[in-house]
Amino acid sequence: MTGTRIDRRLLLILYILALILLREWLIPVIELTNSDHLSLFLLFVALSFFLSLIKVKWWIVLPTKLLFIVLATHYVFFEKVLFTQETLVRLSGNFLANAPIIMNGDWERITNPFRTVLFFAVLWMTTYLIRHWIEVRKSILLFYIMTILFIAFIDTFGGYAADGAIFRIMVTGLLLLGLLAITRLAERHNTSVPTGTFLAISIPLLVAVVVSGALANILPKKDPIWPDPFPYFESLVQGRGEGGGGAKSGYDMNDSTLGGSFVQDSTLVFEAKVDSQQYWKIETKNTYTSKGWEQVSIDDVPISFIPGMKMGEIAGRGNVEDTAQLLADLKVSEAFPFIVYPYGMNKVYATKDVVFQYSEGAGKYSTEIEGKQEALDSYQVEFTESDYSLKKLRATRMEDFSGVAEDLTQYLQLPEQLPERVKELAKNITDNQESVYEKTKAIERYFGRNGFVYTQQGVAIPKAGDDYVDQFLFDTKKGYCDNFSTSMVVMLRSIDIPARWVKGFAPGEFVLNDADEKVYQITNNEAHSWVEAYMPGIGWMPYEPTIGFNSLTDIEYDIELNLDDTLTPEVKKPEQPKKEQTEKTVKTDKNFKISEIFISVGTWIRNNMWIVGAIGFIVIFAGWRLFVGRVKWLPKVLVYTHRTNQDDWVTFTRRYTSLLKQLNRSGLKRATGMTLSDYATMVDNYFGGERMKMLTTAYEKGLYGGNITDHEWFELKEIWEDLINRTSG
Amino acid sequence: MTHKEMIEKVLTNIEKVMIGKRDIAELSVTALLARGHVLLEDVPGVGKTMMVKALAKSIGADFKRIQFTPDLLPSDVLGVSIYNPREMEFEFRPGPIMGNIILADEINRTSPKTQSSLLEGMEESTVTIDGETMRIPQPFFVMATQNPIEYEGTYPLPEAQLDRFLFKLKMGYPTKLEEIEVLDRAEKAVPIDTLETVVSLEELIELQKAVTEVKVDNTIKSYIVECAAQTRDNPYVYLGVSPRGSLALMKACQAYAMIKGRTYVIPDDVQYLSPFVFGHRMILRPEAKYEGISTTEIVERILMKVRVPIDKVQLK
């Protein structure tokens, strides 16, 4: 190695710092590959540096390192420090076994001990590189930047949390850079730095780096203004969930991966001829997995019904006197092997000979014809609108759950790794509320009052270590019904209120059909999820936490109230919804076309990513080619753009200047100190003739002689066109 | 007859006797038109005298020659008042300086006192003798020569006096072909004797006046100033070009532009003339001498660096 020698003591410090940096590479590699023995690898690096530090001859270094590698590999696989004859044979046999594997290029099958040896070899080379950077180049910037990029990359796209690593890298890297800068300065002046001076320079550096590093670590940091990019990109590419069939809205059986954006899909699902707005329920799910929902059934034997039989959906009923029976006429376009039904359903009528299989756990009525799952295209539902007594609701207490006969434990399930802060939040929200009902209401209202945003675009998918609810509640704060409903269920469960997640459709758009009848049209856009919570003494009751949607239940105000607290918002509700609804309708009508176009364009782009990419690439490449080759076509453009009848000094100047630029592009460069007439001679020598000379003389006459009128404009124009066209040849 | 034609006639005339020295002839005429003087530094016998004689003959001017020697006195240059016993008064006998075209040969061989008597005349166009100031007839053009090799027994001209010369030129040897041509022409007769006057003195004075009318654009002026300024900032230069140097360059450019038949100065004029104008107006540091860098080279470097004005830019 050449270059000025670095003081041995300094070199030691530099190597220690480099070792720390290299360690930051090793930690994630070891962690992500589930390997072990970080210290062994570090020891090897340290050994390499140490041997170079004490300037050992290469014929000692080489066997020492080889021995170390063999010993280390041996230790890793036999857990013994010393060889025995048997292990040595096995090890060498193992190594030899790799020869045919490598010959075949069958990289997957390389044996583990051999991989370890290869990894040692990589480390060996890396240490050489670092030694070169430190001792010869005296600049570690490249390695430093690469380290930061590597760590940032695996933090973003891998499951590695580099919070501490990035800090350690910053501090050690800056120190290394600073110390090397001093040695580089010394080298430039061909002197060595006296120790005293060196300390005088490096101690302030050390203090500055350490203090600023410590401050950076202690001071509060703002949260990133963007959502974590990886889930975001993933959601962009994949759409919503894996079974989402791309990224369209609508009913989907698979909810195991929630999150991600989806696009509008206004395909009609069913039409309901019914007098009032209803939520259309399909099923509920009971198990939250941190990423989504699954239905884990516990001894769920389906109950069979036939059309016209009284059915078992009894939520909320029986508490208030039954009111008049209501009828809903449904015409279903999608082939669902189940029915969608309003709360308070009593009976279903269908023309076909169908059997409804009711699964109590999921609350789902599958439709079967002759033992096969079959879709119904129309049916009638008889139902009663449920009323709830506010008095009773307010009397619900947490203690009452103990008296509930039903087994509700499955509705209190929570994943183990649910972050504690979700629980704390739920507690904080509900602490001041007495009744179960009011606690539930408090959580339902929480979203609308705490800056949550309803959106279908750019909704994050939680990555490996993240919780869907936690991410929504504390990080992203934006999402659609799944985010809101899931969060509410999880929060309710965390404070021991049994709750479950409901899927179905929102009431939909109200239209008049051909027969002038009032019909609700439910499209895929109305696919929705909400919450059911168990009120002791009352039963399951629906809640709507998603902002922008209206309350689900009719509450009978059967108690004397001071007309303060909850009553005011509750009473207002019946009026408010209508307004909102109509406003929404009007708005969507207006914006429909444009947003539709945007969405369809977006969908197309997403579906044809590679075409878009290829076109983009071609466009960029063509643009680049055009730009590089502009010397060819630009003259034509210039002749065109300067084709004006106005013949005066200004026009001529413009033409002449453009000619100068074009000549410069065509490879005839004019140095700063070159006069125009010298340049003209050069150009004329190149193209032949005396055109440039004539133009230049005219230009000089105007520029230096101040004579801007006495010119043969037409002739000059001809010469100019002639010359500029030649430049493209 | 246009100005250019007149000048061209003079140059052609000179070329009849001076083979292959068109550039020196042009520069000499430039200096003459710009009312400046020329210092020729070269070995003897390359045609310095012939050059001046041809120039003088072409314009029908009075030609005087002063051979400078160590014992030459100022009165030998300027003239002397002699008592005339018949008229009972001092009578002024004008010296050789009272001519139109003067060849001051080997100017560095004489004492500084005598040198300055000539140089004063060159600068002021007047001479003062016995308290009487007399104007030197116009046009007045001095071509001084100095011999570079014979440093023994010379009095080198101080920088301030070098400044009096518009150009410092080197003649250089002719090429072999040119030299053969010289021999050819001189075989039968002395060519200089056959030269005719092609431009009258009055016409020459008119030309000198016309030179001042040649336009120097502001961009050109700033270019000249920038070049001069660069000589002052150059690390090799101990003393840079004075504003008088810039002024001299501008005047020379005007005259040169006229020779080229232009009514305006272009950057090429500046580039062509600046080595001759700036060369003897700079003092180099010893480093430059060690490294063998000449003044011409420094001027060339500066010209490479300074941006040639090729459009109208606002002056700072």
Q: List CB contacts of A137: < 8 A, sequence separation 6 or more.
A: none
Q: Which pLDDT does position B65 carry in this prediction?
A: 86
Residues of A within 8 A of B264 (CB-CB) are 700-701, 704-707
How close A699 comes to chain B (CA, Å)? 9
Residue A579 domain-assigned?
Answer: no
Alpha-carbon gap, residue B95 to A335, rounded angstroms: 129
Measured between CB atoms, does A59 come within 8 Å of chain B? no
> What is the length of chain B?
316
Q: Answer yes or no: do A509 and A479 share one domain.
A: yes
Q: Answer yes or no: do A200 and A263 share one domain.
A: no
Residue A207 domain-assigned?
Answer: yes
Q: Answer yes or no: do A72 and A199 share one domain.
A: yes
Measured between CB atoms, does A403 come within 8 Å of chain B? no
Q: Does the beta-carbon distance from B308 to A674 stay under 8 Å? A: yes
Q: Answer yes or no: do A260 and A188 share one domain.
A: no
Measured between CB atoms, does B298 come within 8 Å of chain A? no
Alpha-carbon gap, residue A263 to B77, rounded angstroms: 106
Strands (E), A506-654: 509-512, 518-523, 527-535, 539-543, 554-556
Say if residue B286's pLDDT is above 80. yes
On the 0-12 / 13-18 / 19+ scale of CB atoms within 10 A, B229 is middle
Q: Does the beta-carbon distance from B303 to A703 stay under 8 Å? A: no
> In chain B, which residue's Cα lies nearest the Cα of A679?
B268
Tens digit of each residue's pLDDT (9 = 90 or more) over B160-198:
778 888 898 888 888 888 888 888 877 777 667 778 888
Strand partners, B83: B90
Helices (H) and strands (E) in chain B, counts: 13, 11
Asked if residue A136 lies in contact with residue A3, where contact means CB atoms within 8 angstroms, the answer is yes
Alpha-carbon gap, residue A368 to A376, rounded angstroms: 9
CA distances, A114 to each of A70, A74, A93, A119, B275 (Å): 10, 11, 11, 9, 75
Q: Answer yes or no: do A380 and A504 share one domain.
A: yes
Structure tokens at A661: 């630029």
Residue A601 dihedral angles phi and psi, to the nearest 5°: -60, -45
pLDDT cut 90: percent of chain B above it: 5
Alpha-carbon gap, residue A45 to A274, rounded angstroms: 76
Asked if residue B57 lies in contact with residue B195, where contact means CB atoms within 8 angstroms, the answer is yes
Instruction: Region of B65 please: left (phi>0), alpha (psi -120 to 50) or beta.
Output: beta
Q: Which pLDDT does position A572 carry in this prediction?
A: 37
Q: Answer yes or no: do A452 and A310 share one domain.
A: yes
Q: Which pLDDT does position A556 carry in this prediction?
A: 66
Q: Which pLDDT does position B249 carry in this prediction?
A: 92
Residue A349 dihedral angles phi and psi, to the nearest 5°: -115, 135
Q: What DSSP line would sit under B210-231, residue for residue?
A: HHTTSB--HHHHHHHHHHHHHH
Q: Answer yes or no: do A214 and A343 share one domain.
A: no
Structure tokens at B300: 């060339």
Q: List CB contacts of B239: < 8 A, sequence separation 6 or more.
A: B159, B282, B283
Q: Which pLDDT does position B315 carry in this prediction?
A: 42
Residue A449 dihedral angles phi and psi, to the nearest 5°: -110, 5
DSSP code of residue B131: T
Alpha-carbon gap, residue B54 to B14, rounded angstroms: 5
Give the one of B265, B268, B304 whose C-beta lies nearest to A671's C-beta. Answer: B304
Per-residue confidence band for B149, with pLDDT thresholds at 50, 70 and 90? low
Amino acid A430 reads: T
Domain boundaries, chain B: 3-187, 212-305
Q: Answer yes or no: do A212 and A251 share one domain.
A: no
Residue A655 dihedral angles phi and psi, to the nearest 5°: -60, -45
Alpha-carbon gap, residue A154 to A161, rounded angstroms: 8
Residues of B within 8 A of A706 (CB-CB) are 215, 217, 264
Alpha-carbon gap, residue A172 to A167, rounded angstroms: 9
Q: Which of B226, B250, B308, B312 to mutate to test the interface with A (most CBs of A within 10 A)?
A: B308
> In chain A, which residue's Cα lies nearest the Cα of B266?
A704
B316 or B160, which is more confident? B160
Q: Answer yes or no: do A314 and A430 share one domain.
A: yes
Residues of A within 8 A of B313 (CB-CB) are none
What residues 668-707 of chain A have any CB closer than 8 A to a CB of chain B? 671-678, 700-701, 703-707
Q: How many CB atoms lie within 10 A of CB B307?
A: 12
Q: Which pLDDT does position B56 carry in this prediction?
A: 86
Give the one of A673, A677, A706 whose C-beta lies nearest to B304's C-beta. Answer: A673
Q: Does the beta-carbon distance from B215 to A677 stay under 8 Å? A: no
Tens digit of each residue's pLDDT (9 = 90 or more) over B93-123:
888 888 888 888 888 888 888 888 888 888 7
Residues of B within 8 A of A704 (CB-CB) are 215, 217, 219-220, 264-267
Task: Give the CATH number, domain containing residue A392.
Answer: 3.10.620.30
Q: List CB contacts of B253: < 8 A, sequence separation 6 or more.
A: B216, B220, B224, B265, B269, B270, B273
Please write down the long-range contacts of B3-6, taking CB distance under 8 Å and 24 or more positions apart: B3/B207, B3/B210, B3/B258, B3/B261, B4/B258, B4/B259, B4/B260, B4/B261, B6/B198, B6/B199, B6/B203, B6/B207
Residue A586 domain-assigned?
Answer: no
Residue A297 domain-assigned?
Answer: yes
Give the one of A674, A678, A704 whose C-beta lies nearest to B220's C-beta. Answer: A704
Q: Does the beta-carbon distance from A700 to B266 stay under 8 Å? A: yes
Q: Which of A649, A697, A704, A707 to mutate to test the interface with B (most CBs of B within 10 A)?
A: A704
How close B271 comes to chain A (CA, Å)? 8
Q: How many CB atoms lie within 10 A of CB A186?
A: 19
Residues of A within 8 A of B263 (CB-CB) are 705
CA distances, A209 to each of A138, A176, A221, A459 (Å): 20, 11, 19, 39
Alpha-carbon gap, residue A338 to A376, rounded angstroms: 8
Instruction: Region of A159 please: left (phi>0), alpha (psi -120 to 50) or beta.
Output: alpha
Measured between CB atoms, does B220 come within 8 Å of chain A? yes
On the 0-12 / 13-18 / 19+ scale of CB atoms within 10 A, A196 is exposed
Tens digit of each residue's pLDDT (9 = 90 or more) over B56-76:
888 888 888 888 888 888 888
Three-state SS across A270-319?
EEEECCCCCCEEEEEECEECCCCEECCCCCCCCEEECCCCECCCCCCCCC
Last-in-domain residue among A573, A608, A638: A573
Alpha-carbon gap, residue B174 to B43, rounded angstroms: 12
Q: Which class is B212-305 in CATH? A: mainly alpha
Q: List CB contacts of A130: < 8 A, sequence separation 6 or more.
A: A18, A22, A140, A143
Residues of B within 8 A of A653 (CB-CB) are 311
Domain carrying residue A449:
237-573
Q: Does the beta-carbon distance from A705 to B262 stay under 8 Å? A: yes
Strands (E), A418-473: 453-454
Q: Does the beta-carbon distance from B217 to A657 stay under 8 Å? A: no
A475's enclosing H/E stretch is: none
- The residue assigned the tokens 């109590």 is A360
Can you list the alpha helix ranges (DSSP code H) found in A531-574? 567-572
On the 0-12 / 13-18 / 19+ scale of CB atoms within 10 A, A653 is middle
Q: Which of A649, A674, A675, A682 to mutate to test the interface with B (most CBs of B within 10 A)?
A: A675
Number of domains present in the structure of chain A:
3
Per-residue confidence band for B250, with pLDDT thresholds at 50, 70 and 90? very high
Is the CATH code 2.70.98.40 the one for domain B3-187? no
Q: Which of B218, B220, B264, B300 to mutate to test the interface with A (most CBs of A within 10 A)?
A: B264
Q: Does the beta-carbon distance from A700 to B303 stay under 8 Å? A: no
Residues of B within 8 A of A673 (CB-CB) are 303-308
Q: Answer yes or no: do A271 and A398 share one domain.
A: yes
Last-in-domain residue among A185, A218, A251: A218
Residue A428 domain-assigned?
Answer: yes
Asked if residue A190 lies in contact with residue A196, where contact means CB atoms within 8 angstroms, the answer is no
Q: Answer yes or no: do A287 and A346 share one domain.
A: yes
B169's enclosing H/E stretch is: strand B167-169
> In chain B, which residue's Cα lies nearest the Cα of A677?
B268
Alpha-carbon gap, residue A561 to A564, rounded angstroms: 7
Give the residue from A664, A329, A670 showing the smallest Cα distance to A520: A329
Residue A151 dihedral angles phi and psi, to the nearest 5°: -65, -45
Per-block mean pLDDT, blocks of 10 residues, chain A (729 long): 65 89 85 75 89 84 87 79 75 79 74 82 88 84 88 76 81 88 80 78 86 83 66 56 46 75 76 83 86 77 78 48 72 82 83 80 82 81 80 84 81 85 87 86 84 80 82 85 88 89 84 76 84 86 83 64 42 39 41 62 71 82 82 79 75 85 83 86 85 87 82 82 79
Asked if residue A449 lies in contact with residue A398, where contact means CB atoms within 8 angstroms, the answer is no
Q: What's the mean per-residue pLDDT of chain B? A: 84
Q: Answer yes or no: do A38 and A106 share one domain.
A: yes
